[in-house]
Each structure stands twice: as C-alpha cells, then as structure tokens.
C-alpha cells in the first residue's frame, strides 16, 4: 500500500494542506507548533478513525473554524492498494445544538460511497510510533487493551464490528446486573445476554491469542537485534477469562494455543459466568471478559511496566511497532 496524496481542510492548525507523498522515506522538518505531528495524526486517523493525541475528536477540528455554527474538517487520502487506486475521505462535522452546545459526527466515504466505519477499517493501513505511546507499557491495562484493539482492527476485518457488538452487549448486561442488584429478580434473565456476550467475547479472545503469538514472534527478533542479544522480549497476554485455567493462571505465548477454537472458549466462558452469577449480581457489573484483559511486556523475565528503564520501554515499543508493520 502506498499513500500518494494527502489533503486536509480545517484539520488542527491546517486551514488547507495538499501534499504529494513519494514512495520513499520522508522527513518533516519545521519549528514547533507548525503541524508536523498533525500530519502523522491525520494519516493514522484515516487508518483507525481514532486519534493518538486526544480522546475528544472535536479537538481535531480547526479551532478558528470550530467557532462557526457548522464546522467541517476533511481528511482525504489517495492511495494505491493491490495495484488499484482508491480515495478515502473522512469528515468531522461539528454542529451547533443550541446555546453553547455542539455535537460532532463522522462521515466516511470510500471511492465516493458513504460507508460505516466498521466497513472501512483495514482498507487503509498505518502504524504510528510516537514518544507518548510509552503509556502502552507504563499506564493501566485499559491502554494495553486499546493498543490491542487498534492493532487488530485494521488487520482483522471483522474485529471492529465484533468488538462494537460485544461492548453493546456488555452495556446491556451490566444494566441488567445493576437492576437485579438493586431491585432483585431472577438471574435467569441474564441468559440471553450471557450467550451473546460469550459468543462475541470468545471470538475476540481467540483473535487476541493468535495476534499476540504472531506479533511476539516478530517483535522478539527485532528486539534481539536492537539489544544485541542481551534481552529476550516476551508478550504475556492475560485474559480476564482464561480458556485454560487448569494449565496456567496466566495465558502466555510460550505455548502455541492457536488451536483453541472459538466455540470451545465460549463453552467455558459461559460456564464460568454461571458459576459467578450471584457474585456479579451482588456487584452489579460483569467481572470477566475481554473488556478486562491484560497484556504485559517482559524483558529477560522482568516486567517492564513495573521495572523497565526509559530506554528499555522505548526499545520495546520500537520493536513492537516494527513487528506490527511486518504482521500487517
């Protein structure tokens, strides 16, 4: 895949930008606050439809344009994939909703046809490496789950849709658990949500198992070169529901577990939810599932999130990102 042209309108500090991108290494040079990182952000946004700089999409709309009652930021990529030319356009539309109120909606077009975001993710690929990504290793488990989601969604075409459906089912199940906790009632009401949650969750777990194994193999080779063989990198995926609890309390990638089937995982996941049903009703929340998974990074057996130096963390991130490129 080759990005040939990038066009930005009212994106960050760019009122307008049109740039051709040749097929070679490109170095962006300029003073601070001129938009170098914003160009990288725009390219990555077109691949993932999320920002690595902010959790609030409206901040990407040019701040001068955002003062209007209707503001539109446009990002357009023209690229070549499998010897075919494509045009991907994303629109961030900021609309007034009354006194001092605004709402943002997204529109996505592929080759001039409007699409759902879940249909588009994976058509345009990009891997980003910036210093602030150290949070993947240093911060809480939600950052590592976000990393997994962003890595898998562009590569496994169905992943984003299944994850979205899982989160919707999780929200509904949590609402029912809270109602049962506060008002009482039969726990059998959970069965329909248990089936949906475990079916979707089992597929996510299977994909994560396979992806972590594959990325680890690639990252380990890069990491050994970067550290001149002094360190061995391991990725330790710890699902909140462990498909193999009798074997190990933590699911690691030392053993090839890619033979696990989604229906096998679902069967055990469903049984486990029934076992802890009374506990979850008392707490009013779903306590196991992919939404609580963890991923740890180890060098020579040392957990880098707890004991890694700044250099070790950046070396691991670089190895991880180069592995992502090869994996895609």
Q: What phi and psi values does residue 132 have, to the nearest 5 degrees? A: -70, -5
pTM reported for the whole predicted model: 0.85
Q: What is the pLDDT of residue 255?
A: 54
| pLDDT tens string 96-150 | 887 778 899 999 999 999 999 988 888 999 999 987 889 999 999 999 999 999 9
pLDDT level of residue 157 (50, 70, 90 thresholds): confident
CATH number for the segment(s) 132-327? 1.20.1050.90
Q: What is the pLDDT of residue 256?
A: 60
Q: What is the pLDDT of residue 53?
A: 87
Give the pair of three-digit tokens for residue 131: 């210093």
Q: What angle do CA 222, 223, 227 make, to 5 degrees?
A: 120
Residue matched to tokens 């969604």: 153
DSSP state, residue 139 = S
Q: What is the pLDDT of residue 248?
A: 42
Answer yes or no: is pLDDT of 257 > 80.
no
| pLDDT tens string 276-286 | 999 999 999 99
- Give the mean pLDDT of the chain: 92
CA–CA distance, 78 with 20 (Å, rounded to integer)? 9
Q: Which residues contact 86 (CB under 8 A, 6 or more apart)?
A: 78, 79, 80, 110, 111, 123, 124
The domains spanning 2-120 and 132-327 adopt the same CATH topology: no
DSSP characters over 284-324: TS--SSGGG-EEEEEETTEEHHHH--HHHHHHHHHHHHHHH
Kind and range of the H or E element at 60?
A: none
Neighbours of 31 (CB within 10 A): 6
Average pLDDT over residues 215-223: 96
Among residues 204, 153, 85, 155, which one has the least CA distance to residue 325?
Answer: 155
DSSP characters over 171-238: HHHHHHHHHHHHH---GGGGHHHHHHHHHHHHHHHHHHHHHHHHHHHHHHHHHHHHTTTS--EEEEEE
Handedness of CA 125, 128, 133, 134 (dihedral sign): positive
Q: What is the pLDDT of residue 7?
A: 98
Domain assignments of the chain as residue spans, ordered by start: 2-120, 132-327
Q: What is the pLDDT of residue 263?
A: 94
State the fold for domain 2-120.
Rossmann fold (3.40.50)
Instruction: Please give the span between the terminal C-alpha atoms of the chain, in angstroms, as a whole number.
Output: 11
Give the pair of three-digit tokens for residue 236: 């330790």
Answer yes or no: is pLDDT of 300 > 80.
yes
Q: Is 56 helix (H, G, I), strand (E, B) or coil?
A: coil
CA–CA distance, 61 with 72 (Å, rounded to integer)? 7
| pLDDT tens string 164-181 | 999 999 999 999 999 999
Answer yes or no: is pLDDT of 325 > 70.
yes
Q: What is the pLDDT of residue 131?
A: 79
Q: What is the pLDDT of residue 85?
A: 96
Q: What is the pLDDT of residue 132?
A: 80
Q: What is the pLDDT of residue 251?
A: 41
Q: How far is CA 172 from CA 194, 230, 293, in A?
A: 10, 48, 19
Answer yes or no: is pLDDT of 245 > 60.
no
Q: What is the pLDDT of residue 179?
A: 96
pLDDT level of residue 40 (50, 70, 90 thresholds): very high
pLDDT level of residue 249 (50, 70, 90 thresholds): very low
Classify each residue of 147-178 as buried b or exposed e, where b means 16 or more C-beta atoms within 10 Å of its C-beta.
Answer: bbbbbbbbbbeebbbbbebbeebbeebbebbe
């Amino acid at each position: 895949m080759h990005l040939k042209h990038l066009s930005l309108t009212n994106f960050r500090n760019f009122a307008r930008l049109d740039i051709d991108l040749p097929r070679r290494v490109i170095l962006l040079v300029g003073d601070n606050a001129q938009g170098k990182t914003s160009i990288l952000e725009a390219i990555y946004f077109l691949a993932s439809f999320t920002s690595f700089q902010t959790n609030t999409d409206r901040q990407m709309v040019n701040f001068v344009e955002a003062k209007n009652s209707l503001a539109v930021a446009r990002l357009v990529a023209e690229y070549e994939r499998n010897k075919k030319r494509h045009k991907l356009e994303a629109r961030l539309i900021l609309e007034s909703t009354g006194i001092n109120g605004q709402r943002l909606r997204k529109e996505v077009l592929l080759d001039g046809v409007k699409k759902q975001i879940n249909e588009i993710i994976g058509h345009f690929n990009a891997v980003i490496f910036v210093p602030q990504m150290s949070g993947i290793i240093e911060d809480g488990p939600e950052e590592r789950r976000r990393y997994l989601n962003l890595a898998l969604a562009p590569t496994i075409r169905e992943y984003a849709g299944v994850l979205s459906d899982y989160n919707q089912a999780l929200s509904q199940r949590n609402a029912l658990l809270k109602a049962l906790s506060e008002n009482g009632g039969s726990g059998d009401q959970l069965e329909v949500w248990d089936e949906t949650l475990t079916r979707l969750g089992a597929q996510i777990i299977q994909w994560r198992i396979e992806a972590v194994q594959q990325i680890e193999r690639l990252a380990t080779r890069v990491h050994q070169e970067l550290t001149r063989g002094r360190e061995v990198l391991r990725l330790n995926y710890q699902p909140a529901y462990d498909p193999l609890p009798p074997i190990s309390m933590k699911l690691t990638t030392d053993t090839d577990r890619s033979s696990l089937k989604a229906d096998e995982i679902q069967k055990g996941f469903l049984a486990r939810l029934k076992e802890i049903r009374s506990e979850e009703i008392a707490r009013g929340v779903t306590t196991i599932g992919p939404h609580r998974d963890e991923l740890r990074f180890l060098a020579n057996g040392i957990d880098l999130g707890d004991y890694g130096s700044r250099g070790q963390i950046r070396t691991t991130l670089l190895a991880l990102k180069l592995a992502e490129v090869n994996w895609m």
